[in-house]
Chains A and B, each alone.
Chain A
Amino acid sequence: MPKSSTWEKVEPADWRSTIEELRDRGFIFFDFLTGVDQENVDGNNACEVVAHLATKDLSDSHFISTQVSGELPSITDLIPAAQWYERECTEMFGIKFIGGSTKPLLRHENLGRPPLRKSTVLAARVLTPWPGGAEPEIKEDGSKVGNASRRRQRPPGVPENWLKQ
């Protein structure tokens, strides 16, 4: 692990210049670039993009993040190693990297919604009865045995009324 790390949040307009400057300052080890879904926090298809660069001897590292609604300039001309990470970010989070490669990495093109977005619902979870929906007096399928009337909980990843959309 690096002995010290800095976290910096920038505007999308400064994304490229910040990374270029870090690279020129000696942060030449490109560790990763990935996304963090912020839809539930900030709405508007918001997604944070985070990159991690370190010095060659790994004594110092820098996290840079920015928040976008769907597009960000590519950094592959500055750091060619970022290409696979940007392509993965595109197919997992749905973010377009302008000027970057649009070749799919792991998934078939047009296969469906980006898997790592929270808004991508796994239908199997919605349709399968959740064992945790049962209570004393309430069966898994929702049928009541006694007088229990507690509101049924929902499992993680199952939005309310998803099927009715």
Chain B
Amino acid sequence: MTRYALTSDPSVSVEVVSASLACCTLELQAALNSGALIQVSEVGSGPSVIVIAGTVTDALVPSVLELIHSFPDTKVMSFGACATSGGPYWDSPPVSKGIDQFVQVAAYVAGCPPRPDAFIQAIQELSANRAR
């Protein structure tokens, strides 16, 4: 896992692991490399987040679950329409209609794909929730 802090407010940081499954990955990577986030090496107090970025198919569900369970005490972010509901592929038989069928999702991010700043906003909200 890599910890990222907001360049504008380094007290807000999250550890990020991503399931980079499809096109949403590109926007996630754009966010991580955008300059709005900096990689930090010190152990921070912000939450750990697993970002499911892209279409999940039923065949892939065991692998996604294994990834999530191998990082206990992490929050799951459903990044983009496919992870949230199946997105444009909702009617396709192999596609899972939303990862919240099998995991608890802490943050849903709308978009197809979401813009990088949507990811920034999502981690700000996840950090804020933690603080409460």
A-B CB contacts (within 8 Å), total count: 12
Segment touching A, from B11-19, B62-70, B90-98, B115-123: B90-98
Q: What's the tally of chain B residues with a CB closer than 8 Å to chain A? A: 4
Is there a chain B Cβ closer than 8 Å to A122's Cβ? yes
Is there a chain B Cβ closer than 8 Å to A139's Cβ? no
Verify B91–A128 contact, CB threshold 8 A: yes
Can you list, as one digit per residue, whether each of B84-102 has a CB less than 8 Å from chain A (1) or not (0)?
0000001111000000000
Q: Chain A nearest CB: distance from B78 CB in Å?
A: 20
Distance of A157 Cα from B91 Cα, bound (Å): 11
Q: Chain B nearest CB: distance from A113 CB in Å?
A: 10
Chain A residues near B90 (CB-CB < 8 A): 124
Distance of A125 Cα from B92 Cα, bound (Å): 9
Q: Chain A nearest CB: distance from B42 CB in Å?
A: 45
Main secondary structure of the interface of B (DSSP, over half): loop
Q: Chain B nearest CB: distance from A31 CB in Å?
A: 25
Chain B residues near A112 (CB-CB < 8 A): 93
Q: Chain B nearest CB: distance from A55 CB in Å?
A: 34
Distance of A123 Cα from B92 Cα, bound (Å): 9
- Interface of chain A residues 107 through 165 with chain B (CB within 8 A): 112, 122-125, 128, 157
Distance of A128 Cα from B92 Cα, bound (Å): 13
Distance of A112 Cα from B92 Cα, bound (Å): 13
- Interface of chain A residues 78 through 120 with chain B (CB within 8 A): 112
Chain A residues near B91 (CB-CB < 8 A): 122, 124-125, 128, 157
| B92, closest chain A residue (CB) | A122
Chain A residues near B93 (CB-CB < 8 A): 112, 122-124
| A123, closest chain B residue (CB) | B93
Chain B residues near A157 (CB-CB < 8 A): 91
Distance of A128 Cα from B91 Cα, bound (Å): 9
- Interface of chain B residues 49 through 82 with chain A (CB within 8 A): none
Interface centre among B90, B91, B92 (most CB of A within 10 A): B91
Q: Chain A nearest CB: distance from B55 CB in Å?
A: 14
| B86, closest chain A residue (CB) | A124
Chain B residues near A125 (CB-CB < 8 A): 91
Can you list, as one digit per residue, whether each of A26-59 has a CB less than 8 Å from chain B (1) or not (0)?
0000000000000000000000000000000000
Q: Sort A-B residue pairs by CB-CB distance and give the 7 closest, nearest first.
A: A124-B91, A122-B91, A125-B91, A124-B90, A122-B92, A122-B93, A112-B93
Please give 10 more A-B residue pairs, beta carbons under 8 A apart, in addition to A124-B92, A125-B91.
A112-B93, A122-B91, A122-B92, A122-B93, A123-B93, A124-B90, A124-B91, A124-B93, A128-B91, A157-B91
- Write the residues of chain B forming the contact surface with A, with a CB cutoff of 8 angstroms: 90-93
12 residue pairs bridging A and B, Cβ less than 8 Å apart:
A112-B93, A122-B91, A122-B92, A122-B93, A123-B93, A124-B90, A124-B91, A124-B92, A124-B93, A125-B91, A128-B91, A157-B91
